A = this chain, B = another copy of it.
Amino acid sequence: MNVGASRESDEIIAMIMKLTEMPEVISFAGGLPDGELFPIEEMKKVTKEVLESDGRNALQYSTTQGIRELREVIAEQIMKEAGVDTTADNLVITCGSQQALEFSGRLFLDEGDVVICESPSYLGAITAFQPYGPKFVEVKMDEHGMDMVDLEEKLRNNPNTKFIYTVPDFQNPTGITLIVERRKRMVELAEKYDVMILEDNPYGNLLFEGERLPAIKSFDKNERVIYHGTFSKIFCPGLRIGWVCAAEEIVNKYLLIKQSVDLQTNTMAQKETALYMNMYDIKDNVNKIKEVYKRRRDLMVKTLKEELPESCSYTNPAGGLFIWVTLPEELDASKVLEKAMEYRVGFVPGIAFYPNGGHRNNFRLNFSSMKDELIVEGVKRLGQVLRSF
């Protein structure tokens, strides 16, 4: 099987790896949650309790689908908050949402099938689908998310589309959120053109202002939508707990895959996550995270406004971890990155997020993992770099 298709983004990733090893660099290239916000004291209590009350089961093999108590709290708390009425039987626990993406690629895609996605789209999803050899068809976005007219045209012109892949809330990389009317419309179009929707929603809970929009899956009447969730941005990414929510018939197909590729997800991590959700209110943790990230977004947007040349624009996301910067057409973000490295500041050039390449004048900034003063200093350096072009 084809592994690690060579793309220009591989070079960029290499450049970014180099960046992380350079001293005194301020890197906005990552996508890490801030580790200082992890609930370590709570985790100490939780792990002690799990080992004391249920150690033998916590350290033993467990079911492929994931332990029931975890699936129950996900259904009752997280999915409900996303507006999705579901049950533990509709969930499979995965090793993070990256594994959910890989499973979806494996389940639906064969050489030459079409994946329709936002332009730009999430790099990890592109990487997960690519080994199965699909053609990516990108749909235009505006500030309200995927353009539904363009989506319908792409669906009409690509009869072997298997699914629409979308990150509707505070998308990675743009920070853009898909508005409600378009969520409904997307489900209608999926029905009309007989395709599935993969709704990838790692950031939905990290809403800084306004009201949370119901998940696309909440409008799903005929089991067209497969929802991918994760605890990585609202709890602890190192535990690698994600999930798929879908019709039972589809869940059974994911189980066959899970069984053959790694049997099951870490039992202990599942028990810890379930007990944490039952012992504490995860909303308290989410609120703590949101407060810090909101402050950092505000600071980054304010500093971008002050420091970037007027010819540049940027998104102001209502949540999540990322801001998307657009440069004047003639500028190449990869060239800008080379210069930026001299100034000891980094970001991810936008081209990495376009499965078919092109679009050289964008880059992604992360604001979740950086101290306030470094955000200011880093954006100032960026301004200097850009003014030098």
Contact = CB atoms under 8 A, between A and B. Distances in A.
Interface of A: 1, 3-4, 32-33, 35-36, 38, 40, 43-44, 47-48, 51-52, 55-62, 94-96, 98-99, 102, 106-107, 109-110, 124, 127-128, 130-132, 232, 236-240, 253, 256-257, 259-269
Contacts of A269: 266, 268-269
Given A96-B262, A124-B263, 19 more contacts: A1-B109, A1-B132, A4-B253, A4-B257, A32-B60, A35-B60, A38-B60, A43-B55, A57-B238, A59-B238, A60-B236, A61-B238, A62-B238, A95-B95, A95-B262, A131-B260, A239-B268, A240-B267, A266-B269
Contact of A127 (B40, B48, B260, B267): B260
For this chain, the copies found in one complex come to: 2
Contacts of A232: 61
Contact of A1 (B52, B58, B110): B110
Given A127-B260, A257-B3, A60 B237 contact: yes
Given A110-B1, A237-B59, A266 B266 contact: yes
B48 A44 contact: yes
Nearest to A129: B260
A238 B262 CA distance: 12
A59 B38 contact: yes
A253 B109 CA distance: 22
A98 B268 contact: no
Q: Which has the most chain B C-beta neighbours within 10 Å: A94, A109, A268?
A: A268
B47 A238 contact: no
25 contacts: A1-B106, A1-B109, A1-B132, A35-B59, A40-B51, A40-B56, A40-B59, A43-B55, A44-B51, A48-B48, A57-B238, A58-B238, A59-B237, A60-B238, A95-B95, A99-B262, A128-B260, A236-B268, A238-B266, A238-B268, A239-B267, A239-B268, A240-B262, A240-B267, A266-B266
A24 B43 CA distance: 38
A100 to B, nearest CB: 9
Nearest to A253: B3
A95 B260 CA distance: 12
Contacts of A256: 3-4
A141 to B, nearest CB: 24
Contacts of A38: 55-56, 59-60
A310 to B, nearest CB: 36
A97 to B, nearest CB: 9
A237 B61 contact: yes
B260 A102 contact: yes
